[in-house]
Structure formats: structure tokens, C-alpha cells
């Protein structure tokens, strides 16, 4: 459409995909749940009631209770805060590292590019999950350690994406013009190149949140993540595993929470990838 802004064009392309809109709605709902957990939670997440141990779902306890009589619905609501916090802080760390290294590598090239990319290759040689397990095992398990460790072990893909974008942008006319008027390398990198290289980064960040949520849940399931009594979806599933035959709800409901949240972020990420694809906008494939 003639005269249409780029942001409106992106939004128009994004909303055409119903699955992307579904992902956006799911993510928005989880954000609201996490933000309003203190208000909508019917019970305190750590409140123990030994008279109501392993009660099935009912009007009093929507998702039932656990082995200490704690309301599972309330614990899942508060657990959403943990999962989203870990996801966004970890992704923020990985995006920051990836952006900086990708910018430096792609802009300066030559020996610096070779050095950075070889470091990326070395990091990619280690399976991410086992690398995180090894680091967490050597440190004290806590939510902050998990955030930092996940962030420090998941930046390599972002660095490669940014490097590729920067290498294609640094020879464009607007960059050459900035050099001609005497702009410094730092100004060119962060003022002129970076804003034009962010499209794939948004996609990687959205998909990265889903991966971080899964990784945090896996670590909590293994007892290396968020420590009790703090509610965590993975830790709740661990307890449900021990009581699976008599308390199926302890596994089902947190498992559904992980499934739906990860699905929402993945759908949102795929929608952003299609909407921000410059080849689709120009009609070239």
C-alpha cells in the first residue's frame, strides 16, 4: 500500500497469520497471569494445610493440592513469574552479548571476525544443556545463577545472526555516507547499522524465551533449578512424578502450563519471522 509505514506493513503481515495472533494472545495471557498472581491467587503459594493433602481438583482447589496440602492452582500462577523472569532475563543477557560480539565481528572483519567466530564455534561444540548442568552443579542453585548461566550459554546463535546482517549492511550507501561525513566506528555501528539489523534478533529473542523456560523447567525437575519452597513448574512436576498413580493433577497441570507457554512463544516467534522477512515484503523468494 502506497505511503504505508514499515511498522504498519509488519503488523498487517503479522495479523494475517492466525497462529501468530494465537501465540500473541497466549503470551499476553501469561504476562497478565504473572503480573496479577498476587491478586488472582486464591491461596498463598507456600501455605501448608496438612488436612487437605493430595486433594483432587474441586471448586475449593481448582487444580487440587500437593503432598503438603498447598493449592496447586496458586503455585502454578506464582510459578509463571519464575518462568517468565528466567526467560526474559536470560534472553536479555544472551541478546546483549550476541549483539555486541556480532556487531564487532561483522563490522571489523578479518582477524577480529576470525577470532570471534572461532570462539563461537568452540562454544557450539558443547551441548548447551550439559554445559548448563555442569556450571549449575559447580555453583549454588538459585534463580539468579540460572538466569546468568542460561544467558551466558545461549548467545552464539544471536552473534551469528547479527554478524551476517552487519556484513550485508556495512557496504550500503547510508553507511558509506556516514563514514564520509566523519562518523566514528562506534556511532556507525550503534546508530546506523544496529537499528537495521534488529529484525532477526527480535525473532531469536522470542524463540529464546521459550527455550529458556524449557531449560529452567528441566533444571528444576532435576533439582538443580529454583529451590523449594519457591514454586516452579519443573519442581511441581518432580513431586507429581513421585505421586503419579494417586495424584495425576500434580503432573498434568504444570506440564500443560509449560506446553502452552512454550507453544505461545514459538508461534509468536514464527509469526515475527514471517512478518519481518524482507524477502516477503519485497516479493522476492
The pLDDT tens digits of the residues spanning 101-115 come to 999 998 888 889 899
Lowest average pLDDT, out of 97-106, 136-145, 157-166, 184-193, goes to: 136-145
Name the percent of the chain lying above pLDDT 70: 95
Write down the pLDDT at residue 245.
Answer: 81
pLDDT, mean of residues 67-85: 91
Q: Does pLDDT of 201 surpass 50?
A: yes
The CATH homologous superfamily of the domain defined by 15-49+63-282: MetI-like (1.10.3720.10)
Write down the pLDDT at residue 97.
Answer: 93
Q: What are phi and psi for residue 85, nearest 5 degrees?
A: -65, -50
pLDDT tens figures, 207-258: 999 999 998 888 888 888 788 788 889 888 888 887 878 888 999 999 999 9
Write down the pLDDT at residue 159.
Answer: 92
The mean pLDDT of the chain is 86
Q: Does pLDDT of 182 surpass 70?
A: yes
Task: Name the pLDDT band for 283 (thresholds 50, 70, 90).
Answer: very low
pLDDT tens figures, 186-198: 888 888 888 888 8
Predicted model pTM: 0.86
Write down the pLDDT at residue 285.
Answer: 44
Q: Which three cell numbers stand for residue 276?
A: 519481518
Task: Name the pLDDT band for 175 (thresholds 50, 70, 90).
Answer: confident
Amino acid at each position: 500500500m502506497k505511503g504505508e509505514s514499515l511498522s504498519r506493513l509488519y503488523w498487517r503481515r503479522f495479523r494475517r497469520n492466525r497462529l501468530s495472533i494465537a501465540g500473541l494472545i497466549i503470551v499476553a495471557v501469561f504476562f497478565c497471569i504473572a503480573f496479577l498472581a498476587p491478586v488472582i491467587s486464591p491461596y498463598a503459594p507456600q501455605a501448608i494445610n496438612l488436612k487437605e493433602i493430595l486433594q483432587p481438583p474441586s471448586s475449593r482447589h481448582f487444580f487440587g493440592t500437593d503432598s503438603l496440602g498447598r493449592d496447586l492452582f496458586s503455585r502454578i500462577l506464582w510459578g509463571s513469574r519464575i518462568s517468565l523472569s528466567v526467560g526474559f532475563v536470560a534472553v536479555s543477557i544472551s541478546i546483549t552479548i550476541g549483539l555486541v560480539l556480532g556487531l564487532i565481528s561483522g563490522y571489523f572483519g578479518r582477524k577480529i571476525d576470525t577470532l570471534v567466530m572461532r570462539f563461537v564455534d568452540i562454544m557450539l561444540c558443547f551441548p548447551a544443556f550439559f554445559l548448563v548442568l555442569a556450571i549449575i552443579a559447580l555453583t549454588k542453585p538459585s534463580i539468579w545463577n540460572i538466569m546468568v548461566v542460561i544467558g551466558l550459554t545461549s548467545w552464539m546463535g544471536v552473534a551469528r545472526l547479527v554478524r551476517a546482517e552487519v556484513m550485508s549492511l556495512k557496504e550500503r550507501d547510508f553507511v558509506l555516507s556516514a563514514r564520509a561525513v566523519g562518523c566514528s566506528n562506534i556511532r556507525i555501528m550503534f546508530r546506523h547499522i544496529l537499528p537495521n539489523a534488529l529484525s532477526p534478533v527480535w525473532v531469536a529473542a522470542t524463540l529464546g524465551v521459550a527455550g529458556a523456560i524449557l531449560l529452567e523447567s528441566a533444571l528444576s525437575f532435576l533439582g538443580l533449578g529454583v529451590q523449594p519452597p519457591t514454586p516452579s513448574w519443573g519442581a511441581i512436576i518432580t513431586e507429581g512424578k513421585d505421586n503419579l498413580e494417586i495424584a495425576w493433577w500434580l503432573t498434568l497441570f504444570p506440564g500443560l502450563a509449560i506446553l502452552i507457554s512454550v507453544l505461545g512463544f514459538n508461534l509468536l516467534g514464527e509469526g515475527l519471522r514471517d512478518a519481518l522477512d524482507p524477502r516477503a515484503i519485497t516479493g522476492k523468494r
